[in-house]
A and B are shown apart, each in its own frame.
Chain A
Amino acid sequence: MANPTKNNTGFLASLKDSPSTDEFIKGLWRENPVFVQVLGMCPTLAVSNTAMNALAMGLATTFVLLMSNLLVSSLRNFIPKQVRIASYILIIATFVTMTDYMIQAISVDLHKSLGAFISLIVVNCLILGRAEAFASKNTLGRSFLDGLGMGIGFTFALFCLGAVRELLGNGTLFGWAFFPDTFQEWIVMILPAGGFFTLAIWLLIFNAAKERRATS
């Protein structure tokens, strides 16, 4: 009788110390939602035309991800299995609506440039994916770290795309001119096609790095 209890505490202890940082770090790099999991492509391609838009979109998504992870995790024993997806969607939609109002309150211009894509955070599979695959099975603390890590990873990826596209397509970064006046902007970079080009190049870099790590 004593043995399983001991094992149990040992298991709990191992849960406690090892994963906490890992839950956070994995979303940033090893399981980056955009570059590795290739999730949430709609906002990634559509709103990464400037660094500012990318950053705002990333932060909005992070907020929704974090809050929905927290709520789903704390209600995980209360929600019956049959209605879990409906409940998650309801929770996510609520936080998206709240974010929509809050962004409008922060800046009308920002809300104007993000447009319909804020409401479309609801259908970002990254958020539902984390709720279903992680938050519904893990404790509050771990879900919080997971959501934060994934959110920051997503923001980082969007920023990588947005910075490159704005720099080449508009010659600016966060609205600051970066090149002399003689620079001819690559307008294609801020058009939808530029999103695909930039994403492809970043994926190439990530996969090359992964392969090199695997072989060495």
Chain B
Amino acid sequence: MTEANQIQKTAAGNSLKMLQAMVGIGIFCALMIVLTFQGTLPIIKKKKAEALEKAIFKVLPGIEKTEAYQLGQDDNFTPLAGEGKEGQVAYAGYDQNGKLVGVAVEASGQGYADIIRVLYGYDPEKQAVVGFYVLESKETPGLGDKIEKDPNFQANFEALDVSLADGQSTLKNTVITVKNGAKQNPWEIDGITGATISSRAIGNIMGVSTAYWVPLIYKNQAAFIENNEQ
């Protein structure tokens, strides 16, 4: 009887020790993670915003200043103040005289490996996409990642035609990727040999996104100009 008691006692002591160790380490670890998270959060936010801003300057050549606008429910653009860049946001870019150069928009879609996120610049005056930058992609190194690196592919987006049809609510031609070397019209994207799926994915992403955004931005051009002058 006493022996059984003894065993029970040590077992209880052991579990208590185990519990103490696990809970102690758990609390310590949680504390460390929270501290690191809180410490790095402002830096990470700043870096991400910087990276996005850098990308905006890349896709809208010749701009000096950029401002964020949020798309409201009534299809109006309102200036976005402060940090929260959530929802549907467009970034207007202005040259040194404060003239609107273009509007940068984010788009994303399924690529070969994972979701591809891109940013492109739209120039309402030329009615064309004037710049393109891949924000995030996990495409195959050496093949699919040519969508980021190949200068010939990037050249597609120097003046990609997205002019509006007569009703001004749809595009005249949908952006589409064609086989490498088969590009004949200004709204076509010349694909990459060896990265068919990735380059077609870009065509789809751009096609869907421009069809949605371009008419909206074109219609609301005044919103971007007015707010800048104020």
Contacts and interface: CB of A to CB of B under 8 A. Distances in A.
A180 interface: no
B21 A190 contact: no
Nearest to A188: B142
A171 to B, nearest CB: 12
Describe A's contact surface by its main secondary structure.
helix
Interface string B38-55: 001001100110010000
Contacts of B48: 108
Nearest to A50: B141
Contacts of B37: 101
B36 A102 contact: yes
Interface residues of B, number: 25
B40 A101 contact: yes
A191 interface: yes
A91 B25 contact: yes
Interface stretch (B26-34, B68-76, B211-219): B26-34
Describe B's contact surface by its main secondary structure.
helix
B25 A90 contact: yes
Given A104-B44, A112-B136, A187 B22 contact: no
A61 interface: no
Which of B25, B37, B51 has the most CB atoms of chain A within a 10 A radius of its CB?
Answer: B25
A174 B126 CA distance: 39
Given A80-B17, A115-B138, A105 B47 contact: yes
B223 interface: no
Interface stretch (A16-24, A81-89, A197-205): A81-89
Interface string A104-121: 110111001001000000
Contact of B141 (A78, A82, A91, A191): A191
A81 to B, nearest CB: 9
A37 interface: no
Interface residues of A, number: 30
B142 A169 contact: yes
A95 B17 CA distance: 24
B142 A86 contact: no
B36 A82 contact: no
Which of B47, B138, B143 has the most CB atoms of chain A within a 10 A radius of its CB?
Answer: B47
A104 B18 contact: no
B141 A49 contact: yes
A191 B17 contact: no
Nearest to A99: B36
Contacts of B14: 80, 82
B18 A80 contact: yes
A216 B112 CA distance: 53
B33 A98 contact: yes
Contact of A82 (B18, B26, B40): B18
Nearest to A87: B25
Nearest to B43: A105
Interface in A156-185: 169, 185
